[in-house]
C-alpha cells in the first residue's frame, strides 16, 4: 500500500512533536513524588518506582489486606496477585488518575490513623 504525499507530510508533522511526551512524563513524575511519601508514611515500602504509570508497594500484610485498608480510606488499588505469583503481597496504584484524585488520595493518607498499621 502506498501512502500519498500529503498523508506522509501530515504524519511527519504529527509524529515530530514530542512535547506532549515530556509533559506527560512530568505529570506522572509529580504524581509519583506526591504519592510515595504519603504511602511510606502509612507503612508501605516502594521499590524501584522511578518511572511508569504505576506505583508498586507492599507492607507487612497480604495484598488483599492492603487493598481493603486503602478502600476504607476511599483509595482504589489493585492486588498484586492479579498479575501473577511475583505480584503477591504487593499492590499496584495507578498514576493515571486525575491530579485532583491524586491530591485527594495524598490528603486521605496523610490523615489516616497509622496506630494500627502492622510493622
pLDDT tens string 60-104: 899 999 999 999 999 999 999 999 988 889 999 999 999 999 999
- What grid cell was written down for 34? 506526591
- Domains of the chain, earliest start first: 5-111 (3.90.1150.10)
pLDDT tens string 27-49: 999 999 999 999 999 999 998 77
Strands of 78-79's sheet, edge to edge? 45-46, 54-58, 91-94, 78-79
Q: What angle do CA 31, 34, 37 make, to 5 degrees?
A: 135
DSSP codes, 47-81? -S-SSSSEEEEE-SS-HHHHHHHHHHTT---EEGG
Is pLDDT at 53 greater than 80 in this prediction? yes
Amino acid at each position: 500500500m502506498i501512502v500519498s504525499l500529503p498523508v506522509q507530510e501530515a504524519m511527519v508533522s504529527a509524529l515530530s512533536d514530542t512535547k506532549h511526551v515530556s509533559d506527560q512524563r512530568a505529570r506522572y513524575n509529580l504524581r509519583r513524588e506526591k504519592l510515595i511519601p504519603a504511602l511510606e508514611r502509612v507503612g508501605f515500602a516502594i521499590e524501584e518506582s522511578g518511572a511508569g504509570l504505576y506505583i508498586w508497594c507492599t507492607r507487612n500484610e497480604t495484598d488483599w489486606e492492603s487493598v481493603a485498608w486503602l478502600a476504607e480510606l476511599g483509595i482504589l488499588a489493585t492486588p498484586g496477585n492479579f498479575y501473577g505469583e511475583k505480584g503477591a503481597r504487593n499492590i499496584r496504584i495507578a498514576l493515571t488518575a486525575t491530579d485532583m484524585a491524586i491530591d485527594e488520595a495524598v490528603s486521605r493518607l496523610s490523615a489516616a490513623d497509622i496506630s494500627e498499621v502492622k510493622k
